[in-house]
Structure 1
Amino acid sequence: MSPFSSAHRVLSGAALGIAASATLAFAAPAAAGPWPDHAIQMVVPFPAGSSPDTLARMIADPLSKKLAQPVIVENKPGAGGNIGTRYASKAKPDGYTILMTINGPMVTAPALYKNLGYTPDTDLAPITLVGTSPNVLVVPNDSPAKSVQEFVALAKAKPGALNYGTVGPGSSSHLGMAMLEHQAGISLQQIPYTGFPQIITSIISGDIQAGFMVPGIAMPQVNAHKARALAITSLEPSKLLPGLPTMTSQGYPGFESISWDAMYAPAGTPADILELLNQAITQILGQPDIERKMAALYFTPAPSTPEQLRELVHKETGRWGAVIQRLHLSLD
């Protein structure tokens, strides 16, 4: 069992306790007057149609009903999510700006950029983890590679000739492939995109030869026989992706790269507002219809306390920081 899997069990267990008491605890913040009294902006640092965008919109509607105010999703894509994350970190900490982001801007970007423009640990306040999903290694449907071993053999036969798509430097789609390059002794060219919908389009057209992708975007095209999935990046098989082998089972032991989405607010947002948001989102993630919708995207709901999310980020930062250092990656 991986450290991430252990952390997921702890988060899920704690979330059950929160959910059980959330209905009683749901109340207006005590520190300031009535909140919210106007619309809340939910920043998504990726384009429309991406998995963070889809999850954000999935949560925004029931959250607006709980808060009795509109929750408006605003996409601010670019730089692997760093632009929108930076924007949210500089917003007024009054509870009217929240952020749905992924692990890249929070975990790996600080190790890759010296001048990021924000410090995750001090400029953003954690609200809750939202969901987790393994990534999927995808190639064009007409690719000669039908397994990871065959893909590696193809890359070795054409050193430097194959390229792959990412949602930006430092993202899990980038570092996952960087790990495979390191472990397999191959060299590929990275092509950054603004989001996974653009990556799968390029894989289908043959403009790029591979990509580590979130399954919510990749699998509809795989199931339509427009692309081919070779492996998943969890250490163990996924119930949501039956029949897909792991990278570990195909000759790369310990290969793990999990995508997760989480909700944040600008640092300094009143604690009672953060608590109310945590309780409301935890309730939403426990709704059967939301669980079904997330499962359709191959995500598992994983609500947490703010502190547990902070601890997860610290653990992931240490783990991926070591990978970045070993691979001598820098984007400055």
Structure 2
Amino acid sequence: MFFRALVVALLLVVAQAASAQAQYPSKPVRIVIPYPPGGGTDLQGRPMAQILTEKWGQNAVIDNRGGAAGMVGAEIVAKSKPDGYTVLMCASGEVALNVALYPKMAYDPEHDLTPVSLLSISPLVLVVHPSLPARNVREFIALAKKRPGEIAYASSGAGGPHHIAGEWMKLLAGINIIHVPYKGGGPQLADLIGGHVHSAFIALPVVAPHAKSAKIRVLAVTTAKRSQTLPDVPTLGESGLAGFDVAQWWGIMVPAGTPSEIVAKLNTDFVGLTRLPDIRARMATLGAEPVGSTAAQFAEVIRSDIAKYRKIVKDAKISIN
């Protein structure tokens, strides 16, 4: 009798859980963005949340939790209940690059978070001041070899993808150029245009409005494929640095242990968003190209990037204090 009652109780719990998942979402969903309002992650996430609110009949609420290079918000999600009601809209930093830079993170992206979908991707751009006698990457490398320690490159901050791209180029090309970190892309571009720094790795949306001007010279993009925004600009891989691929990307993750049915629904809904003309247009204004991957494909991107960045950080002896 006791055994029968136990079986019935267990079946009831399973049925209730299945019903809850089938009705998901049945209450508001919090989308944590681990950066302040107004950045690339936020500007992509807000219109998505508005559409999901209409689709779900439940509020998709943006919760900006900036701090510690995205790690504050990511930790909040990693330690949340795995029920699908707390979602992370992440960038590559807090789930891939930071793993290589900060060995004592409060969460493990590969074990504490579950990938849902890679939403979009954007290259960085290698640009130089027009006074520098280098019209392409090969000429830039040749010049740097003739003038070791004299040419400087700017990044938008130490430990970011721009910094990593510069250090990887140094390793692959065998050159010695000096890293000058700035606090953001605006000051970085201003000093490049002003001739205060020779070169820079800059985010695509910062560069794009000036790409055809005489104020800067665009040499290459950092991704494996050419950018749809700058289709005539070669990749660094095409320019002699085989295998070079550094990208900024954005995706959706949930706490580890989230039911697979909920992960699948979130994947379907977020991938659907990347197919919408309005969302694609918004991404384009931010220099991002829509992807909309499977969960497994996103997991492989994260795994591959972590391994790649660990090697670069180790080989280049990059240390962030």
- Quickly name the TM-score band, shorter chain normalised: 0.7 to 0.9
Q: Give the counterpart of 1:251 among 230, 237, 240.
A: 240
Cα deviations by residue, 1:210-252 (Å, 9 ceiling, x for unpaired) = 4323313321243566544221123443343122122234333
SS at match of 1:104: helix
Match runs of 1:287-326 below 5 Å: 287-326=276-315
Cα deviations by residue, 1:118-160 (Å, 9 ceiling, x for unpaired) = 1001111211110122221134566665433454436963726
Does 1:272 find its partner at 2:261? Answer: yes
Answer yes or no: is the 8 Å Cα contact 1:89–1:124 preserved in 2. yes
Name structure 2 gaps, 5 residues minimum: 1-17
Answer yes or no: is the 8 Å Cα contact 1:164–1:189 preserved in 2. yes
Distance 1:197 1:98 in 2: 30
Cα deviations by residue, 1:75-110 (Å, 9 ceiling, x for unpaired) = 333443333323332334343322222222222222
Distance 1:205 1:227 in 2: 10
Distance 2:216 2:237 in 1: 22
Distance 1:257 1:30 in 2: 40
Q: Which residue of 1 aligns with 2:202?
A: 213
Q: Which residue of 2 aligns with 1:70?
A: 59
Please, what is the CA RMSD of the aligned residues? 3.1
Q: Which residue of 2 aligns with 1:233?
A: 222
Name structure 1 gaps, 5 residues minimum: 1-27
Distance 1:286 1:320 in 2: 30
Match runs of 1:57-206 below 5 Å: 57-140=46-129, 145-149=134-138, 151-152=140-141, 153=143, 157=147, 159=149, 162-169=152-159, 171-184=160-173, 185-191=175-181, 193=183, 195-197=184-186, 199-201=188-190, 203-204=192-193
Q: Which residue of 1 aligns with 2:9?
A: none
SS at match of 1:135: strand
Q: Which residue of 2 aligns with 1:12?
A: none
Instruction: Say if 1:121 and 1:253 are closer, same or farther in 2 by CA, change over 3 A.
Output: closer
Distance 1:103 1:223 in 2: 28
Q: Which residue of 2 aligns with 1:54?
A: 43
Specify the code of the residue in structure 2 equivalent to 1:182.
Answer: L
Answer yes or no: is the 8 Å Cα contact 1:43–1:99 preserved in 2. yes
Specify the code of the residue in structure 1 equivalent to 2:315.
Answer: R
Distance 1:281 1:43 in 2: 15
SS at match of 1:30: helix
Distance 2:192 2:37 in 1: 19
SS at match of 1:98: strand
Whose radius of gyration is greater, 1 or 2? Answer: 2
Answer yes or no: is the 8 Å Cα contact 1:155–1:187 preserved in 2. no
Provide the aligned length of Structure 1 versus Structure 2: 302
Does 1:37 find its partner at 2:22? Answer: no
| Cα distance, 1:204 vs structure 2 | 4.5
Q: TM-score, normalised by structure 2?
A: 0.79
Answer yes or no: is the 8 Å Cα contact 1:80–1:168 preserved in 2. no
Q: TM-score, normalised by structure 1?
A: 0.77
Distance 1:121 1:300 in 2: 24
Q: Which residue of 1 aligns with 2:318?
A: 329
Specify the code of the residue in structure 2 equivalent to 1:186.
Answer: N
Instruction: Say if 1:68 and 1:192 are closer, same or farther in 2 by CA, change over 3 A.
Output: farther
